[in-house]
């Protein structure tokens, strides 16, 4: 059985304790590889390698740094099929999604920040006849990047690319549920000629090796994407250590549909925003709010389409919906569906585990599920389920739609469907979220700030925001 290895100091190495965890293929419910159960000793080794590499990497000419990162991006592109297949097997997502979304995005994340570094400039502030200030931004040193399982290589590269491009050395941890593409990336980094120690990848459990990264006194910044409870714990841990921290956390996003929306386009996008990646995207619109005058029409059309969605083998190119990431996660999602029934909700379609045949018989499949009849205050409409489950709620007025949309502890993203341009801007302005999509979903320009408010996080990723996070400004004032 294949053994995944850590990547420390430019080498692929076993964990110091030689302990391994099972890595499960969720489409088949079977262990298919072993993943290092790394610990604090591995963090110390990675830190020593990263510290030793820092001066060299920081002082590497920008053109060279950019060229190495571009080579890494090239390698991702050249290995697109293999990476997509690995992602589908590790995560349960359809291979077609991995090949069209996850892996191309991983490649462009690296290209985007490699070139961003080439355009990064200092600011200058002149005090007439008195002084000139210049503010340059220095890399922080050794930084930690911790990524979740839902978009494994996509979010892993989204963090490490700006960290590396701005001159830091990185200790990164993917989720132990989906370690394979980070392991393959380590091999590609070696091929691309990334200097030893600049990027170190440690595999293992969040509360063990992840916690050791967070608590290491020499790691000066933590960029974390994951659940809100973990984010709260990390924030509490790093605050007294005065580390920089960026937290991209959960969501319970509203998809607001006004009666004047383009119905067909809204319907097809709403299918995607509800169930892409089995609903396991922090940006999915899990609360669908529909204007009363089109509620019945929408419900009928939507439920009809959802009932036709086929769940199948993630490794087949025709599959549009695969498995959820793990057995524990499947049980959590099914538990929420039971809760919705207890809270008085009506299951319009789905609501159950799907048992496929043959080698897929033990896989973790859930039928796409639509629920109605629940008020905004119930747990089903307040807590993040992070699976193929959406609820429908009806509204009469614009004010009611805004109030419903804002009525959660989360504030990551929202979608608004309307052909009334003024209303679109008015509603967007009132929404308490970091991101608003109008008549679209998941349309991403990598230059825009990405992140949420309330319990969806602290700070922003993307564009200059990420470059600023991974650098410390220093102002120099020269008296004239
Ligand atoms: P978790 O918070 O459980 O884990 C995220 C990462 O943190 C994993 O690598 C995990 O390791 C690690 N981790 C867990 N505990 C600790 C700890 N004590 N110290 C350090 N690291 C730790 O989230 P999930 O992996 O379950 O991801 C799903 C969540 O991520 C959802 O809530 C989703 O909304 C959110 N998310 C947010 C996004 C955003 O941009 N706002 C984007 C994508 C997802 P391990 O898995 O190995 O235990």
Q: What percent of the chain has pLDDT over 90?
A: 100
State the CATH number of the domain containing residue 368.
3.40.309.10
CB neighbours of 43 closer than 8 A, spacing ≥ 6? 171, 202, 209, 212, 213, 216
Distance CA 449, CA 436 (A): 11
Query: Within this chain, do residues 433 and 328 fall inside the same structural domain, yes or no?
Result: yes
pLDDT digits (tens, 9 = 90+) for 386-414: 999 999 999 999 999 999 999 999 999 99
> Is position 366 within any domain?
yes
279 pLDDT band (50/70/90 cuts)? very high
The predicted structure's pLDDT at residue 463: 96
Q: Identify the active-site residue in 282, 291, 384, 461.
A: 282
Q: What percent of the chain has pLDDT over 70?
A: 100
Q: Using CA positions, which residue lies closest to atom 48 of ligand 1?
A: 206
Q: How many domains does the chain have?
A: 2
Written as six digits, the tokens of 453 are 């408010």
215 vs 38, 45, 79, 205, 411, CA distance in Å?
15, 15, 35, 14, 28
3-state secondary structure of 438: strand
The predicted structure's pLDDT at residue 153: 98
The predicted structure's pLDDT at residue 465: 97
Query: Within this chain, do residues 412 and 460 fall inside the same structural domain, yes or no?
Result: no
> Is position 403 within any domain?
yes
The predicted structure's pLDDT at residue 3: 97
Q: Using CA positions, which residue lies closest to atom 4 of ligand 1?
A: 226
Is 214 touching ligand 1 by the criterion CB < 6 Å?
A: yes
Distance CA 368, CA 349 (A): 7
Where does residue 241 rank: exposed (0-12), middle (13-18), buried (19+ CB within 10 A)? Answer: middle
Query: Within this chain, do residues 354 and 376 fall inside the same structural domain, yes or no?
Result: yes
Residue given tokens 């060229």 in the structure block: 67
Residue given tokens 């605050």 in the structure block: 239
> Is position 27 within any domain?
yes
Q: Which domain, by its residues, includes 53?
A: 2-249+456-479
Query: Within this chain, do residues 293 and 398 fall inside the same structural domain, yes or no?
Result: yes
State the CATH number of the domain containing residue 9.
3.40.605.10
Query: Within this chain, do residues 468 and 429 fall inside the same structural domain, yes or no?
Result: no
From 23, 37, 148, 465, mutation site for ligand 1 pocket: most ligand atoms within 8 A of C-beta: 148
Query: Within this chain, do residues 166 and 240 fall inside the same structural domain, yes or no?
Result: yes
Q: Is 248 a catalytic residue?
A: yes
Distance CA 440, CA 133 (A): 43
* pLDDT, mean over the chain: 98
> Is position 434 within any domain?
yes
Written as six digits, the tokens of 187 are 């091999």
Q: Is 282 a catalytic residue?
A: yes
Where does residue 207 rank: exposed (0-12), middle (13-18), buried (19+ CB within 10 A)? Answer: exposed
Closest listed residue to residue 229, CA positions, set 255, 253, 206: 206
Q: What angle do CA 163, 169, 172 make, to 5 degrees?
A: 75
Please report how many Cα atoms fall inside a 13 Å half-sphere around the Cα of residue 268, on the Cβ side: 3
Query: Within this chain, do residues 147 and 268 fall inside the same structural domain, yes or no?
Result: no
The predicted structure's pLDDT at residue 7: 99
Is 150 touching ligand 1 by the criterion CB < 6 Å?
A: yes
Pure H helices in 208-367: 211-215, 228-238, 263-275, 292-308, 327-342
Residue 470 and residue 127 in contact, taking contact as beta carbons nearer than 8 Å = no
The per-type count for the chain, helices as H runs and strands as E runs, is: 16, 25
pLDDT digits (tens, 9 = 90+) for 90-149: 999 999 999 999 999 999 999 999 999 999 998 999 999 999 999 999 999 999 999 999
Query: Within this chain, do residues 439 and 302 fall inside the same structural domain, yes or no?
Result: yes
> Is position 398 within any domain?
yes
Query: Within this chain, do residues 14 and 160 fall inside the same structural domain, yes or no?
Result: yes
Query: Within this chain, do residues 234 and 258 fall inside the same structural domain, yes or no?
Result: no
> Is position 450 within any domain?
no
Query: Within this chain, do residues 174 and 245 fall inside the same structural domain, yes or no?
Result: yes
Beta-bridged to residue 255, according to DSSP, are 288, 415
Distance CA 301, CA 267 (A): 8
Mean pLDDT computed over 197-205: 99
First to last CA, the chain: 68
Is 230 touching ligand 1 by the criterion CB < 6 Å?
A: yes
Query: Within this chain, do residues 238 and 258 fall inside the same structural domain, yes or no?
Result: no
Written as six digits, the tokens of 440 are 């679209």
The predicted structure's pLDDT at residue 309: 97
Is 250 touching ligand 1 by the criterion CB < 6 Å?
A: yes
| Element of type H or E holding 6 | strand 6-8
Is 226 touching ligand 1 by the criterion CB < 6 Å?
A: yes
């Amino acid at each position: 059985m294949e053994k995944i290895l850590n990547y420390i100091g430019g080498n692929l190495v076993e964990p110091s304790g030689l302990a391994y965890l099972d890595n499960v293929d969720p489409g088949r419910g079977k262990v298919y590889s072993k993943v290092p159960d790394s610990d604090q000793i591995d963090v110390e080794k990675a830190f020593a390698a990263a510290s030793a590499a820092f001066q060299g990497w920081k002082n590497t000419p920008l053109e060279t740094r950019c060229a190495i990162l571009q080579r890494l991006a090239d390698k991702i592109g050249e290995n697109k099929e293999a990476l997509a297949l690995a992602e589908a097997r590790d995560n349960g997502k359809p291979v077609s999604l991995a090949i069209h979304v996850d892996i191309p995005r991983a490649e462009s994340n690296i290209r985007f920040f490699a070139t961003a570094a080439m355009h990064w400039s200092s600011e200058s502030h002149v005090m007439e006849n008195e002084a000139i200030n210049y503010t340059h931004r220095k890399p922080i040193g050794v930084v930690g990047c911790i990524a979740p399982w839902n978009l494994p290589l996509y979010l892993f590269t989204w963090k490490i690319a700006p960290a590396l491009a701005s001159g830091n050395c990185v200790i990164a941890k993917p989720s132990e549920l989906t370690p394979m593409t980070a392991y393959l990336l380590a091999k590609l980094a070696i091929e691309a000629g990334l200097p030893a120690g600049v990027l170190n990848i440690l595999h293992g459990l969040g509360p063990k090796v992840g916690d050791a990264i967070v608590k290491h006194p020499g790691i000066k910044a933590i960029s974390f994407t994951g659940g809100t409870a973990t984010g709260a714990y990390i924030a509490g841990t790093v605050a007294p250590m005065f580390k920089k921290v960026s937290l991209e956390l959960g969501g319970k996003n509203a998809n607001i549909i006004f009666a004047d929306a383009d119905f067909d386009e809204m319907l097809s996008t709403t299918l995607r925003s509800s169930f892409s990646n089995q609903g396991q995207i922090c940006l999915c619109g899990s609360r669908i709010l529909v204007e009363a005058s089109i509620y019945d029409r929408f419900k009928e059309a939507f439920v009809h389409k959802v009932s036709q969605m086929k769940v199948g083998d993630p490794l087949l190119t025709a599959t549009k919906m695969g498995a959820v990431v793990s057995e524990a996660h499947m049980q959590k999602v099914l538990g929420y569906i039971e809760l919705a029934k207890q809270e008085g909700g009506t299951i319009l379609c789905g609501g159950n585990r799907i048992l496929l045949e043959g080698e897929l018989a033990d896989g973790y499949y859930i039928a796409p599920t639509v629920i109605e009849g629940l008020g905004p205050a119930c747990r089903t409409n307040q807590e993040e389920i992070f699976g193929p489950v959406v609820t429908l709620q009806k509204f009469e007025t614009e004010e009611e739609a805004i109030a419903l949309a804002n009525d959660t502890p989360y504030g990551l993203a929202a979608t608004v469907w309307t052909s009334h341009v003024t209303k679109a801007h008015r509603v967007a302005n009132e929404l308490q979220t970091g991101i608003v999509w109008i008549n679209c979903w998941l349309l991403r320009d990598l230059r825009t700030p990405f992140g949420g408010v309330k319990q969806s996080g602290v700070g922003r990723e993307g564009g200059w925001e990420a470059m600023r996070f991974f650098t410390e400004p220093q102002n120099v004032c020269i008296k004239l």
